[in-house]
Amino acid sequence: MNDTECPFSIFARWYDAARQCGLREPAAMALATADAAGQPSLRMVLLKSHGPDGFVFYTNLESRKGGELVANPKAALCFHWMPLERQVRIQGRVEKVSDEEADAYFASRPRDSQIGAWASDQSRPMKGMRDLEKNVALMAVRFHVGHIPRPDHWSGFRVVPHLIEFWQAKPFRLHERTLYTRTGDDGDWQVTRLFP
């Protein structure tokens, strides 16, 4: 890692390596949000695209995380690629992806996943699995032929980072930590080495 390389290009390199190291879900990342009172909550989601604009995942906008991100549009992400002994931590503001971007991704999903997005009231209580099965059956009838539109309650969020930290394990716990801090809107980053 050299100090002139932009953090998005380092991330792309590391992510490619993670996809080639035999991991079942290299896209899995922990997503931390917080409610209006500052109470953090954490869960896994899948990274669906990344680049200088940020890091995108998709979800139900009416889920717990969806509500928290509307009330407090800030998030943190954490990847751990164990075979590579690498961790990447990201912190930033959050924005919704455009309707066009969400439509295109939704259209690329398997039909059963599209029906699932319509059927699941994610994060809300249900009496039992029969509630979910009933919703799936109803939606399968409703959308039995033709194009399935994206539900209004389902879209993507983009985490636009101001901090990205790369962690690489080294022998004797003398790990290498490199923190990139965005210094303005012009794409400049300050590089800081941190004690492990």
Ligand X SMILES: Cc1cc2nc3c(=O)[nH]c(=O)nc-3n(C[C@H](O)[C@H](O)[C@H](O)COP(=O)(O)O)c2cc1C
* Binding site residues, ligand X, CB under 6 A: 25, 28, 41, 43-46, 57-60, 63-65, 122-123
Q: How far is the CB of 39 from ligand X (least distance, A)?
A: 12
Nearest to 194 by CA among 162, 164, 171: 164
**Beta carbon nearer to ligand X, 136 or 191:** 136
Rounded to a whole number of angstroms, the minimum distance from the CB of residue 55 to ligand X is 12
The three-class DSSP label of residue 136 is helix
The answer to whether 71 touches 36, Cβ cutoff 8 Å, is yes
Active site residues: 173
- Cβ 119 vs Cβ 139: under 8 Å: yes
In the complex with ligand X, the residue whose CB is nearer, 48 or 182, is: 48
Largest CA distance in the chain: 59
Q: Quick one: 110 or 146, whose CB is closer to ligand X?
A: 110
Both tokens assigned to 109? 């999903």
Q: How far is the CB of 154 from ligand X (least distance, A)?
A: 9
